[in-house]
């Protein structure tokens, strides 16, 4: 991209390229966006916003999860997308999976990892993944209490 376009520009439906790729499950496009973002960060240029809110405040992660796109959801999670982003209906991505067991478990694991690192390890969680998630049963049970209060906004 030689002319430095606005990477996060939205169409008439308020969807940006990253939203469309996530909703359609275009793994190659999402991978390209992630790799291109790495180049742009190195050059200190504007990047594709992977947490950009679109129509009804849906993030790319909401769209991938709602469209049953497991691999695409995983890619977005590994890039640090906000697992607690809320849409206009106050739903986080896990709550729009329509009961898909694998997506629900994947998102729940990332939610737990985020909370574990933030509240029990006092770790910067700007970008995180599931490495070193849990070490004891007590830590896992503490996460459920923390997660409940975090989602409620307490």
pLDDT tens digits for range 74-129: 999 999 999 999 999 999 999 999 999 999 999 999 999 888 887 777 665 554 44
Most confident of 51-65, 100-114, 135-149: 51-65
Q: What are the structure tokens assigned to 12, written together?
A: 């008439």
pLDDT at 144: 53
Give the closest residue to 4 by CA, choosing from 52, 51, 36. Answer: 36
Break the chain into its structural domains and give their ranges: 17-152
- pTM for the full predicted model: 0.78
At the fourth CATH level, the homologous superfamily of domain 17-152 is Ankyrin repeat-containing domain (1.25.40.20)
- Residues 64 and 86: beta-carbon distance below 8 Å: no
- Residues 74 and 61: beta-carbon distance below 8 Å: no
Range of lowest pLDDT (35-49, 57-71, 113-127): 113-127
Radius of gyration of the chain (CA): 16
- Residues 85 and 62: beta-carbon distance below 8 Å: yes
Q: What are the structure tokens assigned to 129, written together?
A: 């993944």
- Is 70 or 116 the better-scoring residue by pLDDT? 70
Helices 101-115 and 70-78, interaxial angle, to 10°? 10
């Amino acid at each position: 991209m030689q002319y430095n376009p606005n990477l996060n520009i939205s169409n008439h439906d308020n969807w940006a390229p990253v939203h469309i790729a996530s909703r359609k499950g275009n793994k190659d496009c999402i991978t390209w966006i992630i790799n291109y973002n790495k180049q742009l960060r190195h050059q200190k240029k504007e990047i594709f916003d992977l947490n950009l809110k679109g129509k009804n405040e849906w993030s790319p992660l909401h769209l991938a999860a709602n469209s049953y796109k497991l691999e695409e959801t995983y890619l977005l999670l590994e890039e640090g997308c906000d697992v607690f982003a809320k849409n206009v209906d106050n739903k986080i991505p896990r709550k729009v999976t329509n009961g898909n067991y694998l997506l629900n478990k994947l998102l729940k694991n990332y939610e737990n990892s985020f909370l574990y690192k933030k509240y029990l390890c006092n770790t910067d969680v700007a970008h995180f993944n599931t490495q070193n998630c849990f070490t004891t049963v007590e830590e896992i049970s503490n996460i459920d209490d923390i997660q409940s209060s975090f989602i409620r906004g307490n």
